[in-house]
Amino acid sequence: MFLLTGGCQNPPKNSPAAVALSWPAATEVREHMKAAFVPELQAVREEPSTAAKPSNGWIPGVFYAGVSAAWLATGDEDYRRALVQWGESVHWQPAPRPRHADDLCCGQAFLDLYLREGGAERIAAIRARVDAFLAAPQPGRKDWWWCDALFMAPPVFVKLSQATGDPRYREALAPLYWDAVKPLWSEPDHLFYRDPNFVSKPQKIFWARGNAWVLAGLARILEGLPVDDPARARYQELFRTLAARAVELQSPDGAWRANLADLQQFPEPESSSTALFAYGLAWGVNHGLLARADYAPAVLKAWEALKRAQLPSGQLGSVQPAGNKPAVSTQASTAPFGCGAFLLLGAELLPAAGPHAG
């Protein structure tokens, strides 16, 4: 289904080419991350928790996944404090729907905290939720029928195996994941349909954020998967294939547009897909899966586009609101998940991010 590309060759560390393709200065990255984080944290805390938008749902879950990455990359206590306060405020519980991928997303941050500091209460409910999920098995496409789900839930399975030492979570993930991928993947286009409603339509629509969720989710799966895991090679093949296609569809200004099948339908830059794609690409470069010479320029252009999208408040603008298909993103539009994606990218650009960080 997916073809492996050749080995990644990075330029010598001190060569002019390597210097030109180095990530931005750490001070710059940290400043822009913090500028985005502070006002977005206030906005998240002021958002009332409702049945439609619970305070432990996917929107804050993605935000705090980015906050967690920022804390792990910087050691900044402000990020850790925000994480702990949020976890305690929701009593370390996932959102209520027992099989819904969105309602597991909060577990990514809970598990990051546990892996760094311990505290069994932080992961007990998430583990119980996944145990119940696996005790009543269904095909992956039934539970994870939309491509966003491939970011929300799978990293939790991998992190649970890391946290507990029990491989059955990551082993159970592989058949679920690939069954979910099969009906959504367009082999001729090397892109994902958002969900079955978009498949086999006369006019193709490929949502940028949906595809960016998948690439970023793959980075988070691979981050915690053992190097000898038998499923690893297949995840890597999909990661490389989707990364290559994403770079082909990046606009010259460094941002991605909402509809990858028609870049002119919504011609304005869209920040959440840009941050998620760039995070995935940066992770791939840092971990030797993508050639720095081929992919670092795309990451650097995206970083500049995202800096331009930051509003005077520091918040990341030009974020398409929550939805299920391409739509307009205005310059003033912000969202916690956009900031979370931006923090994921920023953390990946910092020197501590990976064994091959530059």
Q: What angle do CA 108, 127, 225 make, to 5 degrees?
A: 55
Contact 336, 274 (CB under 8 A): no
Nearest Cα neighbor of 114 from 70, 162, 150 is 162
Q: Which two tokens stand for residue 102?
A: 């969105």
Q: Where are the alpha helices (DSSP H) in 184-288?
A: 208-224, 232-248, 271-286
Nearest Cα neighbor of 279 from 50, 89, 33, 38 is 33
Tell me which of 102, 103, 112, 148 is the catalytic residue: 148
- Does an H or E element contain 186, and which? strand 185-186
Q: Which two tokens stand for residue 106?
A: 């909060």
Nearest Cα neighbor of 292 from 214, 222, 216, 356 is 356
Q: Which two tokens stand for residue 222?
A: 């691979």
Q: Where are the alpha helices (DSSP H) in 90-123?
A: 107-117
Contact 286, 357 (CB under 8 A): yes
Distances (CA, A) of 83 to 115, 133, 172, 276: 14, 26, 28, 21
Q: Which two tokens stand for residue 358?
A: 């530059």
- Sorted by sequence, the CB contacts under 8 Å of residue 325 that are 6+ apart come out as 194, 198, 205, 207
Residue 102 bears catalytic tag: no
Nearest Cα neighbor of 278 from 247, 309, 321, 248 is 247
Residue with tokens 């959440």: 272
Catalytic residues, by residue number, are: 148
